Structure 1
Amino acid sequence: MPVTVADLLARSELGLVLLTADAIVDRPLSWVHVSELADPAPFLEGGELLLTTGLALRQDQPAGPYVRRLVDAGVAALGFGTGLGQEAVLPELLAAAEKSGLPVVDVPRGTPFIAISRSVSAALAAEEYAAVARSAAVQQELTRAAVAPGAPGALLERLARAIGGWALLLDTVGAPLEAAPPGAVRHAHALGTELDRLRGSRAPASAAISGPEDTVLVQSLGTNARIRGFLAVGRSGSLPPTERHVVNAAALLLTLRMEQSRGLDSAMAALRAALLRLLLAGEERTVSGVVDELGQQLPSEPLRVLTVLGSGEQRSAAVDVAADAAAHGRVPLFSAELDDALVLLTSAETGLASQLDVLPARVPGSAVGMSRPVRWSELVDGLQQARQAAQHGRGRTTVVVDFEDLATPGLSALLEPTATRAFADSLLAPLFASDRAGAGDLVHSVRVWLTHHGQWEPAAAQLGVHRHTLRKRVRRAGQLLGRDLDEPGTRAELWIALHPPGAS
């Protein structure tokens, strides 16, 4: 228990007497400070028992402002040593203290200030030792709970009791896995913003949410870029340092518990990769039996194939996000690594594919592509489509790229605007120069002629000229460009140059 003025008053050997009857004396003391300054506030942090003989007040310093400075500095109590120049505490000091609610204690001449300092120091040391001992005992209990078989619910229950509040274990998407007490799940919906922020940092990372009445701590669980979950705790008031150490220990134990499964994860990843190769070879029935033995299920036709491109840590994080989405929707999902890419198979009829739109946002830096709906016999084609879509979106977009959408915007969407405009300016430079020096009709004439697929009559009619005039213009353009405009490749290049990306 923290030491208070009431504790010091109860020690008869100190002989202290409370002079302000209505003052609060059960406030914890942070330290004992001795000062004869008229304004000791700059040297105080709050919570101290300030000891003085009133030397400053004997030098005609008014008592009222002196007391106000002490109260503003957060002093817990004032100890006035009598018999050392003043036989009693000044009446005006007592009046100001009574008005401000500041406890004033009479320290008799026979009680040296050092005796009070030693008493408080010993009590604070004992309190700190007790807190450390409690923290060590709690950490031992948490360790035993962490290594015990079963779910980590026992660890969270012990943690919640230790901090006098609640504890939540959340998965990678923020859904509660364990809660202590069970009603703590109601806090999960308010943590979304902090979870999103922590997802953008390498694990482990933490965030604190301090309100007027309570404190909430959130920590990511995992190593580096792979986040395996989150630990959130809360309680009324603030969390003392010793209890924060307990929370940190719990987060470490939960992380270690999760990381213990990495060896099994590696073996399962190798098995899944082999199963995917069998599926690509048309062995869907064989794989279905193996997957059933694992307690899972292959998705039903028609399928959507998704490919995730990125680093190993990004692909691992994407597996977690996709698995959580499938678990929440209670729909089958098959995932496996193949040629430095993550492959996800889901049924096109369950809606899970659309829910996986969150993947690029949840795993920054990854690229995700999705195939058309395909049958098991078309799985090779679906995988190729998904990979092409992901490669198209790499570095260009933060959304899932659907293979079906690649052809919608046309060829111009595949061209880099700056490079294409530079190509157009270089290719068409002779025509623009001729137009500036002459009649100014070559570029427009070639554009109209290409629009009509090289047909002279309709192009000449749109330009309002004779077809022979148009032939002369096109022949002149070919001479200036040094190219044969009857060649399909040349016409395609001219069309792109005359219609660069972003042009109206």
Structure 2
Amino acid sequence: MISLTQLCEKMGNRLRPINGDPVGRVELTGVHISELDDPTPYLEGGELLLTTGIPLAGERETVRDYINRLAARGVVALALGLGAGTDAVPAGLEAACTDAGLILLVVPEGIPFMHVSRAYWDLVGETEQADLAASLSLQTSLTQAATRPEAVAAVVKVLSTALGGWAVYLPADGSAETYWPPAESRILPQLREETARLGLAGTHSAATFPLQGMDVIEYSIIADRRTAGFLAVCAGRPPRKADRQLMLTGCMLLAVTARREWQLTRANSILSTMTATLAMSGFVDAARFVAGDLTGPPLAERVQLLAVRGDNLESLSTAELAEQVAAMLTGESAAKLGDSIRRSRLRSMKDGFCYLILESPADSGHGVRDPASVETAVSRRLGRPAQFAAALTRPMPLSQVAESLGELRRACEVAPIGHLSTGQSLLDPRTAEWVVQLTDYRRADLVGTVRSYIRHQGQWEVAARELGIHRNSLRHRIGIASKLINADLDDPDVSANLWLALRRVS
């Protein structure tokens, strides 16, 4: 808006205050010319009124009544044109204007009022062009911000800076807010409450409300017919038309960003399912090839396989699934396993079970290092009974995921609701190779020998008697078996896993 100071500066000596003092910063809504005794029906307030003095002819009371009418209507300044029947300022005019708070100016003789009017509209045109250029520059900055990697944060920062206040984006899923400047984190709790109270979700709408003495405008961000979040803005000045256009542009760009993120998430979900399915089917090289298009690092060399059963698993996000499974544990193990699940990129549904391939602690530095030691507990998530059961393998090479799938599923099937079945019910993935090594040895029955040795808990005499061989022969066979599988048969973990595996061999 144009100020009276700007107009006086542009006119120079052709428009000056009566007393020569600088005028205050008063904004003008327009310049109006009138010789009516009562021009107020044609005025809206905020104008500079130009007159040659005809309405001012008369007594002091007539002049004072005229000035009071103008002031009551909201006129901010009166300019008296000299030389057209009025050679001097009428008596009492300056005092009446001072009492009414009206700025009095004079237009010297020979200066047409049209010059004043033209100067005003020239200033309006210049200001609008400047505003348009600034608006276009800000619109460009907003659009560029939306193309950056952290698009939401960039858009919020540009909006906040342009409006001289603060801006906050509140995701509809309840995840962390994005705001600028950082010091405005203080308003987040109240802003969340106000957003929930307004109930803007699902509608293309906006609302204005006071917050800590400031006026806040909040818009709902809709993409693909669902609410992505809410944009709350507090300008550092009364919002102008260009400011509101900038806010709407910010809303549009945030909606586009949300749509783009959803599309990327869907694409990654498809690739994730494909990669997990290939790995669980034994096609590890193909899985690595497909995983090359996934965002994130390459597939880990050592992994753990998690199986979950329960209702509506497809509707749960990986983060929600992590919360459910972690709630089955206690202590530090719960946090580690939850973190490992949240970071998993490989997830697949098969026959009603949800499978996730997790990075092994050796590769990631996170996760459950010894599943057999995990203390299981009924889920206490939000005080509700657990609706899911799960099973987790030991760390293993990615190439052994397919072999462990059947055993993992059986463990998950028998796991009680609210419990995570861990190492006790799942064989060491090396056992499959151990059985092959023992079975392929043709010079002696190593399978029967090892089975008898483990059954009798390493008692040489009893095992040799059952096998019908000398105990030295038994020692020789056990030595060969230990070398073939590269493991100590007296190790409880080795013997327990091998015993379960050999019981399945006819």
Secondary structure class of the residue paired with 2:2: coil
Answer whether contact 1:304 1:371 (CA < 8 A) is retained: no
Q: Which amino acid aligns with 1:125?
A: G
Decide whether aligned partners of structure 1 residues 96 and 299 sit closer, same or farther in structure 2, where only a CA change above 3 A counts.
farther
1:250 maps to which residue?
A: 250
Give the TM-score normalised by the residue count of structure 1. Answer: 0.55
1:227 maps to which residue?
A: 227
Rg bigger for which structure? 2
Answer whether contact 1:64 1:93 (CA < 8 A) is retained: yes
Decide whether aligned partners of structure 1 residues 9 and 275 sit closer, same or farther in structure 2, where only a CA change above 3 A counts.
closer
Decide whether aligned partners of structure 1 residues 11 and 55 sit closer, same or farther in structure 2, where only a CA change above 3 A counts.
same
1:353-502 paired onto structure 2 within 5 Å: 353=382, 377=412
Shift of 1:166: 1.6
Q: Which amino acid aligns with 2:82?
A: T
Decide whether aligned partners of structure 1 residues 205 and 277 sit closer, same or farther in structure 2, where only a CA change above 3 A counts.
farther
Answer whether contact 1:84 1:109 (CA < 8 A) is retained: yes
Shift of 1:116: 0.5
| Inter-partner Cα distance in structure 2 for 1:191 and 1:56 | 55
Q: Which segments of 5 or more consecutive residues in structure 1 lack a partner in the other structure?
A: 279-289, 309-314, 356-369, 383-504
1:86-235 paired onto structure 2 within 5 Å: 86-172=86-172, 176-196=176-196, 199-209=199-209, 214-223=214-223, 225-235=225-235
Shift of 1:224: 6.0
| Inter-partner Cα distance in structure 1 for 2:54 and 2:318 | 69
Is 1:66 the counterpart of 2:66 in the alignment? Answer: yes
User: Residues 365-402 of structure 1: CA distance to partner in whole angstroms, max 9, x if unpaired?
Assistant: xxxxx9756567469998xxxxxxxxxxxxxxxxxxxx
The alignment of Structure 1 onto Structure 2 pairs a total of residues equal to 345
2:266 maps to which residue?
A: 266
User: Residues 170-197 of structure 1: CA distance to partner in whole angstroms, max 9, x if unpaired?
Assistant: 2215664322211122222222354235
| Inter-partner Cα distance in structure 2 for 1:118 and 1:84 | 20
Decide whether aligned partners of structure 1 residues 224 and 150 sit closer, same or farther in structure 2, where only a CA change above 3 A counts.
closer
Decide whether aligned partners of structure 1 residues 207 and 48 sit closer, same or farther in structure 2, where only a CA change above 3 A counts.
same
Answer whether contact 1:176 1:188 (CA < 8 A) is retained: no
Give the TM-score normalised by the residue count of structure 2. Answer: 0.55
2:54 maps to which residue?
A: 55
2:3 maps to which residue?
A: 4
Shift of 1:44: 2.9
Answer whether contact 2:380 2:386 (CA < 8 A) is retained: no
| Inter-partner Cα distance in structure 2 for 1:199 and 1:379 | 44
Shift of 1:239: 1.3
| Inter-partner Cα distance in structure 2 for 1:153 and 1:113 | 52
| Inter-partner Cα distance in structure 1 for 2:304 and 2:205 | 36
Decide whether aligned partners of structure 1 residues 306 and 129 sit closer, same or farther in structure 2, where only a CA change above 3 A counts.
same
User: Residues 204-236 of structure 1: CA distance to partner in whole angstroms, max 9, x if unpaired?
Assistant: 422223579643222222226511122222133
Decide whether aligned partners of structure 1 residues 91 and 215 sit closer, same or farther in structure 2, where only a CA change above 3 A counts.
farther
Answer whether contact 2:10 2:119 (CA < 8 A) is retained: no
Decide whether aligned partners of structure 1 residues 301 and 260 sit closer, same or farther in structure 2, where only a CA change above 3 A counts.
closer
- Measured on the aligned residues, the alpha-carbon RMSD in Å equals 4.9
Stretch moving more, 58-67 or 83-92: 58-67
| Inter-partner Cα distance in structure 2 for 1:83 and 1:13 | 18
Secondary structure class of the residue paired with 2:28: coil
User: Residues 53-97 of structure 1: CA distance to partner in whole angstroms, max 9, x if unpaired?
Assistant: 333333667333433333333323111222223222323221121
Answer whether contact 1:29 1:48 (CA < 8 A) is retained: yes
Q: Which segments of 5 or more consecutive residues in structure 2 lack a partner in the other structure?
A: 279-290, 328-334, 357-375, 392-411, 418-506
Secondary structure class of the residue paired with 2:49: strand
| Inter-partner Cα distance in structure 1 for 2:108 and 2:159 | 47
Answer whether contact 1:46 1:73 (CA < 8 A) is retained: yes
Identical residues among aligned pairs (%): 28
| Inter-partner Cα distance in structure 1 for 2:321 and 2:228 | 12
| Inter-partner Cα distance in structure 1 for 2:70 and 2:323 | 58
